[in-house]
Amino acid sequence: MSAHSEEAPELIEDLLIGAAPTLLVAGADAAGQRLDQWLAAALGPDMSRSRVQMLIRQGAVVIDGKPVDETKRKMSAGENVSVAMPEPEPAQPQGENIALDVLYEDDELIVINKPAGLVVHPGAGNWTGTLVNALIHHCGDSLSGIGGVRRPGIVHRLDKETSGVMVVAKTDRAHKALSEAFADHGLTGDLERAYLALVWGIPQRPTGTIDAPLGRAADRVRRAVVPEGRDDARHAVTRFAVQERFGEDQREFATASLVECRLETGRTHQIRVHMAHIGHPVIGDPDYGLAFRTKANRLPEPLKSQVKAFSRQALHAWLLAFRHPTTHLTMRFEAPIPGDMEELVGGFRKLGTSHQKT
């Protein structure tokens, strides 16, 4: 691989930040290489490939005067590549006055009902406006140094568009105890987590266990069920129970179910990947439910429009129970389904509802 630059060939990210866009010219041996691979090598060892991919997706890379956002795009010799680095973000999150729905709080911990759309902790593309920023403002110095600079007090997380109950530690003692509880998923202690998911279709069995290892998908961003022996395979188990079936007694429209999911492991996107794996993806899931997007066309109005307008996965963490690190009492918190998801469930109920018999 060869690249020519107006700067020294061993460019690193620190030299690029805040500077004018850097120009690279693809050499003959760049032909056929993926853009992200070529650019990561051209920018030097201090620029990771994941960082390069993020820059490409953010529109910071221009080839021959045209912005590109496809990381796998094939390079051609002689192409002029311009890279614009964003301004550096503060290394330590700052407090922001963001409203929190606090379910409980004491000197050791705080329990909140996280709304959909709120990122838990700062990261690429989300350095502000996160739950951590809100917690720093709300709790002050009590979170300082607990669990790392960018994740103070965080012992578990919910996806950005997943709503529901979360607990955050305010002391080192609480962080250690809660982290250990979440690490073994309650197998040796009092920890209970339950989610409600509105999914496409009706599972054949009213209850079931999905035991399928998860790893990185081909795009290296999403997760997927992978062979057990693969290097990145991680044990993952989800138990589900159908709560309501919608449209079961008719054939004209698409069916759906309200399913409770309980985790025996806590992998990234676990419920979303596992439910998609058994053919019942979460409605509205932009990552794992795209193949079912046209299902909405098989619904009556206004439900058809409701589903198409629902821009997130219909997944809610409704229950969290754990042992308090100081009092050792079991604490149980519930959060009702948020309004947008409740309206969607209500729309499906009009198709006809049958409940799980107990």
Known catalytic residue at 106: no
Per DSSP, the three-state class of 346 is helix
Residue 153 CA: distances (Å) to CA of 31, 295, 344: 47, 41, 33
First to last CA, the chain: 65
CA max distance for the chain: 72
Contact in structure between 240 and 260 (CB atoms under 8 Å): yes
Pairing of the two strands 61-63 and 80-83: antiparallel
- CA 297, CA 304: separation in Å to the nearest integer? 6
| DSSP code for 149 | S
Residue with tokens 């050792």: 328
Find out whether 40 and 47 touch, Cβ atoms under 8 Å: yes
**CA R_g for the chain:** 23
Please state, as a whole number, how many other Cβ atoms lie within 10 Å of the Cβ of residue 322.
Answer: 23
From CA 186, how far away is CA 166, in angstroms rounded? 15
For residue 204, give the nearest of 250, 236, 261, 245 by alpha carbon: 245
Distances (CA, A) of 304 to 213, 275, 307, 332: 34, 22, 5, 36
Amino acid identity for residue 273 in this structure: V
Q: How far apart are CA 76 and CA 4, in angstroms?
A: 14
d(CA 146, CA 132): 12
Q: Token pair for residue 291?
A: 């193949």
SS3 114: strand
Query: Cis (ω within 30 of 0) for the bond into 338?
Result: no
Active-site residue (options: 36, 159, 285, 287)? 159
Q: Which residues are catalytic?
A: 159
